[in-house]
Structure 1
């Protein structure tokens, strides 16, 4: 269900219009840090059997 918004009546006085503009657009929104915009999660669950490989094992077997 959509809702209707009533159109705002523009202030007749230029000072009132400037004050209304400043109230609405006078400040920037709060800054968001880039670290807060990214979520990191492991794509798969760790597999202990797969992570047992040691890439330097050949050094121990053949050079030792």
Structure 2
């Protein structure tokens, strides 16, 4: 069974001190986290220079020039 503290069992100063300590610890919300800070982006694969040398317009140079 959980321990239950009755307010009338503690001296007035101790109850106020406990209330002030609880307010200091839990009385404010944590800092807001932006959505941009929750996502990490990185490439799925290592860039391959040989793969990126393809020029989609190369056929224009070869056949139309």
Q: Under TM normalisation by the shorter chain, which class is it?
A: 0.5 to 0.7
* 2:52 counterpart of 1:51: yes
Gaps of 5+ in 2: none
Q: TM-score, normalised by structure 1?
A: 0.57
The structure whose Rg is larger is 2
Structure whose residues are more often helix by fraction: 2
What are the ranges of 5 or more consecutive residues in structure 1 without an aligned counterpart?
1-6
Paired residues in the alignment total 56
The two structures, once aligned, show a CA RMSD in angstroms of 2.9
